[in-house]
Amino acid sequence: MRNDHVKKLALAGLLTAVAVTCSAFTIPVGAARCMPVQHMVNLLGGVLLGPGWSVGMAFVTSVIRVAIGTGSLLAFPGSMVGALCCGLVWRMSGSLVAAMFGEALGTGVLGALCAWPVAVFLVGNEAAVFAYVIPFLISASGGALLAGMLLAALRRSGALKGLLPAASK
């Protein structure tokens, strides 16, 4: 049991480091900076570690990115809601495609709607309620697709067997 916790912590740290390191890779879409690597990491964390770990990784990544100037406060609601949704969908269904849609819709719609009050009241941006939906959806969909392809390849190769219990579905 303890060994699983150590493996989860190590993988969570590694995935968080990847998300922070690759946060310089951005695609400007409208008012937002899209970060597909964050969403890729959300899906990897949600599938391999579960929703709680994935949300924790998204939070820590957002804190570090804001602290070093590569992210904004909008990273918190977008990434955390998406991480929760994909992890919960994976846990309930065991379907990689469903988890990919969970990340895309969780970040792209729910996370974007949660980002609106952050943008208006904390950041001071004038924005319509749905202003972040399309940029967040584009970013999350790209990242979910990347993670889905990676996880499918790892599953086919057998690399996921025995790694972590959550990944063996």
Q: pLDDT tens digits for 119-166? A: 777 766 777 777 888 888 888 998 999 999 999 998 888 888 766 555
34 forms beta bridges with: 27
Domain span at 159: 2-23+32-168
> How confident is the model at residue 1, as a pLDDT?
55
The one-letter amino acid code at 35 reads M
Q: pLDDT tens digits for 58-80? A: 999 999 999 998 888 888 998 99
Pull the structure tokens for residue 47: 């599938």
Q: pLDDT tens digits for 98-115? A: 999 999 999 999 998 898
How many Cα atoms sit within 13 Å of 34 on the Cβ side? 22
In whole angstroms, give the CA distance from residue 91 to residue 93: 6
> How confident is the model at residue 169, as a pLDDT?
52
Q: How confident is the model at residue 33 (pLDDT cuts 50, 70, 90)?
A: low
Q: Cβ(111)–Cβ(77) under 8 Å?
A: yes
Q: How confident is the model at residue 32 (pLDDT cuts 50, 70, 90)?
A: low
Domain count, the chain: 1
Pull the structure tokens for residue 92: 């309930």
**CATH code of the domain in which 49 resides:** 1.10.1760.20
The one-letter amino acid code at 57 reads M
State the average pLDDT over residues 30-56. Answer: 88
In whole angstroms, give the CA distance from residue 50 to residue 52: 6
Q: How confident is the model at residue 50 (pLDDT cuts 50, 70, 90)?
A: very high
